[in-house]
Amino acid sequence: MSNIVIIGAGQAGLQLASSLRDNGFAGSITMVGDEVHAPYQRPPLSKAFLAGTAPEAMLFMQEPKFFADHAIDFRGNEAVETIDRELKQVNLRSGAFLPYSHLVIATGTRNRALPCVEGETSGVVSLRTIEDAKALMQGLERATKLVVIGAGFLGLEAASIASDAKIDVRVIEAGGRALGRVVSAPVSAAVQAAHEARGVTFSFNEAVVALHSTDGHVSSVELGSGERIPADLVLVSIGVVPNSELAAACGLAVHNGVVVDARLLTEDPDISSIGDCAAFPFAADEGRMVRLESVQNAVDQARCVADRLTGKVEAYDQVPTFWSDQAGLRLQMAGLTRGDEDVVVRRDPATGNFSAYCYRGDNLVAVESVSRLPDHMQARKLLRMKISPSREQAGDPAFDLKQLVNKETAA
């Protein structure tokens, strides 16, 4: 295998290129990214960078000389037009083409658009890129009333920063609770309470039907109930869509992402897909197809493919982890839920310092910790080793869950 082409210059793409070199791969590596920037971290865009506590330089994952030192041909501000599987090459918008021995699709996701937004209205922003974050920062400097559409991680992280800046914040959510698609009800309630204690207000089970403007700048948000909420800044944060069009156009299977097998291979043995755009069989849930938006997942999948391409063939079987800082809370999740689990709470949620243990049958499938780092670290071990404490043990703070890990390790 002499030349590997990576479409996508995010966390997954950069990790793959780096891991290939770490594994001794001596062939050519070309990484194509459609942004002008070198690969950078996205999580800080809604956290430290947006809050002004991290400079832009800290976003970038490597110094420019890294690419030359590791013989990685990074092509920024370049777009892939098509993938030609027969010729085994990718065709670039610039007119150039790149032949490949193996191709890796790591194209990530894009923000879901709000259907009722038509044309350009200033004061309406989303958050995906460095430029988006800068625009939101500038908006927050002038805003007095922020409406956040969507109560997911990113939207609530931005709401937290805005409320810290004494901006009036209203969060509109189509579902019934905050973070309703990603955490259990006890954690959701604790997060909402923490935000409300800082002055954030919520509207649930509401649809946004129109944005109104005055002199070209947003002035209010109209809900399906008829209510109009005054706003001089609106953040649209209603989820993402996988960038799988290139894969679909060249005939690869696509279903909520680029479909891959347990080794992260598409149906074409010369093409893999990793990161936020890849739909893969989740080993811990009987091969249910999932797509994860997580730094951990992007990094671990990149390492898995790098190992396979350099001779070590194993299925991808990692414990997913996620985290978020908001409203004075540190949320850390390990494992993956479907929304139908039984939840056992360890410690009092009212303290803002507790964990939720999620069970499917007798099996522990996920643990969500609120400002409880020790619980999170222990949960990762339990899930990795497939150890399920009883519900009674999980719910009893006096029971030392380390015993179960130590017992299994000793055996």
For 164-210, give the DSSP string: HTT-EEEEEESSSSTTTTTS-HHHHHHHHHHHHHTT-EEEES--EEE
Report the largest interatomic distance among the alpha carbons of the chain, rounded to a whole angstrom: 71
pLDDT beyond 90 at 409: no
Query: What local confidence, expressed as pLDDT, does residue 408 receive?
Result: 76
For domain 124-238, give its CATH number from 3.20.20.210, 3.80.30.10, 3.50.50.60, 3.40.50.720. Answer: 3.50.50.60
Same fold, 3-109+241-309 and 124-238: yes
pTM comes to 0.96
State residue 120's pLDDT score. Answer: 72
Helix (H, G, I), strand (E, B) or coil at 335: strand
pLDDT digits (tens, 9 = 90+) for 114-124: 987 766 789 99
CA-based torsion, 173, 295, 384, 317: positive or negative = positive
pLDDT at residue 1 in the model:
59
Give tens-digit pLDDT for 8-31.
999 999 999 999 999 999 999 999
For the chain, give every domain's residue range.
3-109+241-309, 124-238, 337-410
Q: What is the pLDDT of residues 250-279, one digit of tens each?
A: 999 999 999 999 999 999 999 999 999 999
In contact, 105 and 247? CB cutoff 8 Å: yes
**Are the CB atoms for 258 and 271 separated by under 8 Å?**
no
How far is the CA of 333 from the CAs of 222, 277, 398, in angstroms?
34, 21, 22
- Assign 244 to helix, strand or coil: coil
Mean pLDDT of 353-357: 98
Question: Mean pLDDT score of the chain, rounded to an integer?
Answer: 96
CA end-to-end distance (rounded Å), the chain = 42
Of 339, 332, 325, 343, whose CA–CA distance to 380 is shortest? 332
Q: In this predicted model, what pLDDT tens digit does every residue of 26-45 receive, in sequence order?
A: 999 999 999 999 999 999 99
Q: How many CA atoms lie within 13 A of 128 on its CB side?
A: 17
Domain 337-410 matching CATH 3.30.390.30: the answer reads: yes
Give me the phi and psi of 19, to 5 degrees please. Answer: -70, -35
**Overall fold of domain 3-109+241-309:** FAD/NAD(P)-binding domain (3.50.50)
- Percent of the chain, pLDDT > 90? 94
The residue-averaged pLDDT of 282-311 equals: 96
d(CA 342, CA 333): 16
Q: Is the pLDDT of residue 410 over 80?
A: no
Detail the DSSP E strand segments found in 274-372: 278-282, 288-290, 321-326, 329-335, 342-346, 354-360, 363-370
